[in-house]
Amino acid sequence: MAYLTLAAPADAEIEIRKSRFHAFAFPITDREQALQEVNALKARYPDARHHCWAYLLGNPAGSASAGMDDNGEPAGTAGRPILNVLQHKKVGDTLIVVVRWFGGIKLGAGGLTRAYSQAAQSVLDHAELVERAPMQRLHIALPFSDEHALRHLLAQYGGTLDTLTYESQGIAAEVSLPESSGSQAEWPHTWQITPV
């Protein structure tokens, strides 16, 4: 089942009762990349009071991996609302960080929850979203002479060649293919294909 993800990073800013909420959205592939983006924003905006975030890896309708942080805001008022927007909009492989500058007026728990939700919604409204098909990773052992055939089949099915190693007996490749690409029955029977 396909899901949405970001085509490129995006940002948007809202102001609520003199507090500025600048939301940033990034396409990500793993937790480490998400944390790097969060740390980069903390370094870029050290004067901000809070850098709250949430990410969703994989298909939001399936077994997605998620993470979030309220970064000093009252528990459940920042990270969870951001994550809820990602889940509701069915956007995966995405990190949203909302940087907040306090404007001097306390918003209360309900106000904070609404503000972080609005900021996350705003950045997704400004982002270009694309559809992504869930991928399966395969290890393929094949003869040297079949490298062109492998590349042709990957192009035909919308797959990618992740690694290619020339070994003494042939080629070892790791590939990613859309799960919807169907059976490997039409692939050469001389290839050894195993899931990664």
Question: Average pLDDT, whole number, for the chain?
Answer: 90
pLDDT per residue as tens digits for the range 4-49: 999 999 999 999 999 999 999 999 989 999 999 999 999 999 999 9
Is residue 1 over pLDDT 90? no
pTM: predicted TM-score of the whole model, two decimal places: 0.73
Is residue 141 over pLDDT 70? yes
Query: Long-range CB contacts (< 8 A, 24+ apart) of 103-112?
Result: 103/15, 103/17, 103/18, 103/19, 103/20, 104/18, 105/17, 105/18, 105/19, 107/16, 107/17, 107/19, 109/74, 109/76, 109/77, 111/16, 111/17, 112/73, 112/74, 112/77, 112/78
pLDDT at 91: 94
Q: Taking phi first (over 0 means left), then psi (-120 to 50 degrees means alpha), and beta for anything else, what does residue 49 get?
A: alpha
- Give 26's strand partners: 95
pLDDT per residue as tens digits for the range 65-98: 899 999 989 999 999 999 999 999 999 999 999 9
Domains and CATH numbers, the chain: 3-131 (3.30.230.30), 133-195 (3.30.70.240)
Distance CA 44, CA 148 (A): 46
Question: What SS3 class is residue 10?
Answer: strand
Helix (H) or strand (E) segment spanning residue 54: strand 50-57
| Packed helices 79-89 and 108-126: angle between N→C axes, nearest 10 degrees | 40
